[in-house]
Structure formats: C-alpha cells, structure tokens
Amino acid sequence: MAESKVNSGFDLHVDLAAGGSRKAALGAALRNAVRSGRLNPGTRLPSYRALAHDLGIARNTVAETYAELVSEGWLEARQGSGTRVAHRGGAGAVASRSVVPPQMRPRFDFRPGRPDASTFPRSAWLSAVRRAVDRAPSDAFGPGDPHGRIELRRALADYLARTRGVRTDARRIVVCSGFWQAATILAESGIAGPFALESHGLPFHRTIFEKSGPTLAVPVDDNGCITQSLSELDARTVVLTPSHQFPTGVSLDPKRRIAAVEWARERSGLVVEDDYDGEFRYDRLPVGAMQSLDPDCVLYVGSVSKSLSPGIRVGWMAVPERWLDPILAAKGVRESTVGVIDQLTLAEMITSGAYDRHVRAMRNKYRARRDVLAAAVRGRVPHIGTLGISAGLQAVLTLPDGSERSVLRAAGDAGIALEGLSMFRHPAAVGPVRDGIVVGFAAPSDRSYSQAVDALMSVLTARAPALRRE
C-alpha cells in the first residue's frame, strides 16, 4: 500500500547526544522534540529502517525506542499509518498553537475586481496540467527564463491578436505575475516615469507607481480619460484602462485614444494599457485593444486574474520594440517570477481552446448577472443611474451628492461588502467629486447572487427618501 511506503520516505532530523546508549539518546531526543513542540501532534515519524539508516544505528534500537515512546503516550502507532506523534502526548503535550483566524467574511461580497471563485475550471485546468507536465521538455524544470516560456509567449501572441487585436509576436511578449509586477518593473527601473494616472483607479496601483515619485492625475468623465489634457502634464507615461475604465466602467472615446497615442509618440513616451477585463463585453460592439493603434508606443498588460482566478499568478505584457530590452533588463536575468507549470498549463489551455471556452462561459454567466442587477435597479431604485454596465465585472451605481458614505454605512450594517467611488479618486484629481458605489457583481457565488442583489436593493430603497431628497 502507498501508506506504508509513505512512512519509509519521511525525513526526521534528530540530534543524538554523544555517549550513553543509542537507545536512551534517541528516546531523549524524541521526547524532547515532542515536548518542545518541534514535532506537532499527528506528525508522522520515519520507518524504523529509514531512521536507523540515517542515524547509523541498529533497526531494532529504533523499533524498541518507538515502542517505548508509544507506551509512554508520546507516540501513537496505528495499523496502516505508521507511527505518529500522539495527539495528547504524555505530560509534555504541546499547548495548542494559534493559527491565523479565518478572514472576516462579509455576508454578501460585492467588492470589485474579483471573479466568482467558485467557477474556477478545475477539470479543464487538470486536463491541461496533465498534458503540460507530460509534454514539457526536461529543461522546463531547470532555471526559468524571466522572459517567460516560449510555449506561453507563442500562445499569447496568437490569442491576443485573435481576441483583442493586439499586434505583437512571441519575442515581444514578456510573462509576468500580473499588473502588479508590470507596474513594479516600470516604476522601479526608472525607465518610464513620471507617470500620469486616471483620476479614478486602484489606490494600490498608485502606490506602486509612486515608488518612483509623485504621480499625476488625468480627469475621467463619461467618455473615459480626458487624454487631450495630457500635454499640460509633465509625464512620460500615462496608464489607462481604455476598454472599461476602472472603476467607472466607461469605454475610452476613439478620439481620446488617438490623442494619447500621439502624445506618447511626440515625446518618446509610453501608454500603458491595463486591459484587466477586456474579455468581458456584453452588448456593445467589441472594442479592440488600444495597443493596435501603435504597437511602438503602447505597452499592453493583461492577466488571468479576472478570467481564471487572481490566485493564478500569470500575466503578460506586449512590449513595444524599443522598450523590450530595458524591461527585460529591469526584470533581471536571473529569476522567473511565474511558476513554470502554471505557464505551460495556461499555454495548453489557450492552444486547446479550453481557455476560450471558459471565457465564453464566464461571459454568459456575468452577462446574466449584469442583467439581474440592471433589472433590479430599474425596478426598485429607478432614480439611481448606472455606469459601465455594458462590460466587465463591475458597474457603478451613481448616487446623489453627499450620499455615498451613508449608503456604504447602511450596506456594511447589512453585511454587504461594497466600495465607494470616492476611495478610487486620485488625491490630485481636480473637478467635482462624484458619489457612487462600485458593485463587483462577479464576486458572489451563483447560489447567493440573487439574494445578494436583493439585499443591496433593500439598502438602497430603505434609503430612498434620503437619496431622492437631493
């Protein structure tokens, strides 16, 4: 049986005191290891044979010592599962150890930026990982190339061209762990700053870019980022979310796309396109990646965080030619940050079509959720407006001025995790403050979704008089 084999392979570090009988020394060492808590209750011990071999003592000595410690209550011997540290071992039983308490979980989770974790395509992933590991050349398990596995870079170059209109090739794809790492590379290398950011975005992203110095804010309205105002700013790089502005959800106006590219071209600058959820569009015409306007000055960034799981740390950059060497240099010649098996598995999923199938299924699911949310708003709080509802995993419900905070407080009281527009506002943003809540409608599980929407609508209707008073 596998179980007995398991035991024979376990390693155990034992310090045997010099002098005296080996049996006494081993007994003392093991008691001490259990008493001090170094060996936890339930820990399996090596087989007699293995430990005897490692310590250079007789097998019988180990067997006798184990038997003695079992009789003393330090160890437990179970048929078929070998010898383990007892759960209530002797007088020296270890006081139970504190482990981090489970994270506080809200009843309903509408936080933006997270997909439905229950939909991870477990069997598609397992099929792909099997093929990937079976087919991988040996050198895949040697030191990783920070550029990324060629299998994945090829698959991504084709996929991004096909689905997002990105103009690139495998050589100009650089694998990274996600937008976080892409931003870190740009900020820390000093090759791309100063950075201009959209006036509303993730504070967490701003923090990364500010490692290189203060960032500038470009205003966002209902047609996206007002890129015409870039020329007034002393920036070299602008970071945009053109497909689905985060968090407002609006799509960047075509003229403004061109303005941004021209701005970058004129000053040998860079546009960073954060295409964080570009796969998810519902009823408007597909909007291709802005990168296709000028692959020489737009650096395109994407990841599987929204399409598969934020727990899978695989992302990519499609890098303009003249930025490729500086970015690879900044990434370092030595270390890949992305596990090779995740890279090869994703390549398999893309080339086999399993990734497309999953994205399509998710798109249908999220569209249905979006419809439920939109219908609920129309039916129950028709005076509240919506933004960014035609794509992505989040929508904004706009609120009368000054009411955001009280709505968030009421939602919190009802066990609903939610974020307000104001928390995404750049401190250097100018113009009027807009009130609203950002509803990440992908996060709740299918089971709880309609209940979650219902709870949110109840909060908004309960506050309807106040919301209307404006």
Q: What residues from 426 to 465 belong to the interface with a second copy (CB under 8 A)?
A: 443, 445
Q: Does 158 interact with a second copy (rule: CB under 8 A)?
A: yes
Between 8 and 398, CB nearer to a second copy: 8
CB of 210 to a second copy, least distance (A): 14
CB of 456 to a second copy, least distance (A): 19
The residues in 341-400 that bind a second copy, with binding defined as CB under 8 A, are: 341-342, 352-354, 356-357, 359-360
The residues in 24-53 that bind a second copy, with binding defined as CB under 8 A, are: 33, 36-40, 42-44, 47, 50
Distance from the first to the final alpha carbon of the chain: 73
Q: How far is CA 32 from CA 89, 126, 267, in A?
A: 12, 43, 69
The residues in 116-145 that bind a second copy, with binding defined as CB under 8 A, are: 117-118, 120, 122, 125-126, 129-130, 133-134, 136, 138-145
Query: And the tokens for 126?
Result: 């397992």
Contact status, residue 230 vs residue 442, Cβ threshold 8 Å: no
Binds a second copy (CB under 8 A): choice among 17, 20, 67, 162: 162
Between 324 and 374, CB nearer to a second copy: 324
Q: Side chain identity at 280, as an amino acid letter?
A: F
Q: Among 20-28, 304-312, 376-384, 390-398, which window interacts with a second copy (CB under 8 A)?
A: 304-312
DSSP state of 282: -
Between 7 and 227, CB nearer to a second copy: 7
Residues 6+ apart with CB under 8 A from 424: 200, 201, 202, 203, 246, 247, 438
Residue 322's Cβ-count burial label (10 Å; 0-12, 13-18, 19+) is exposed
CB of 415 to a second copy, least distance (A): 17
CB of 130 to a second copy, least distance (A): 6
Q: Among 13-21, 220-228, 235-243, 398-406, which window interacts with a second copy (CB under 8 A)?
A: 13-21
The residues in 54-73 that bind a second copy, with binding defined as CB under 8 A, are: 54
Q: Does 88 interact with a second copy (rule: CB under 8 A)?
A: no
CB of 319 to a second copy, least distance (A): 9
DSSP state of 247: T
The residues in 262-301 that bind a second copy, with binding defined as CB under 8 A, are: 279, 286, 288, 292
Strands across the sheet containing 435-440: 385-387, 394-399, 435-440, 419-420
Residue count, binding to a second copy (CB under 8 A): 110
The residues in 182-201 that bind a second copy, with binding defined as CB under 8 A, are: none
Nearest to 390 by CA among 313, 286, 462: 286
Q: Does 6 interact with a second copy (rule: CB under 8 A)?
A: yes
CA–CA separation, 330 vs 250, rounded Å? 33
DSSP state of 304: S
Q: Positive or negative CA dihedral for 452, 458, 460, 463? A: negative
Between 78 and 469, CB nearer to a second copy: 78
- Please report the DSSP string for 153-174 in residue order: HHHHHHHHHHHH-----GGGEE
Between 195 and 280, CB nearer to a second copy: 280
CA–CA separation, 426 vs 121, rounded Å? 36
CA–CA separation, 202 vs 207, rounded Å? 9
Beta-ladder partners of 399: 435
Residue 400's Cβ-count burial label (10 Å; 0-12, 13-18, 19+) is middle
The residues in 224-243 that bind a second copy, with binding defined as CB under 8 A, are: none
Between 211 and 378, CB nearer to a second copy: 211
Binds a second copy (CB under 8 A): choice among 25, 74, 106, 153: 153
Q: Does 91 interact with a second copy (rule: CB under 8 A)?
A: no
Q: Among 61-69, 248-256, 338-346, 453-461, which window interacts with a second copy (CB under 8 A)?
A: 338-346
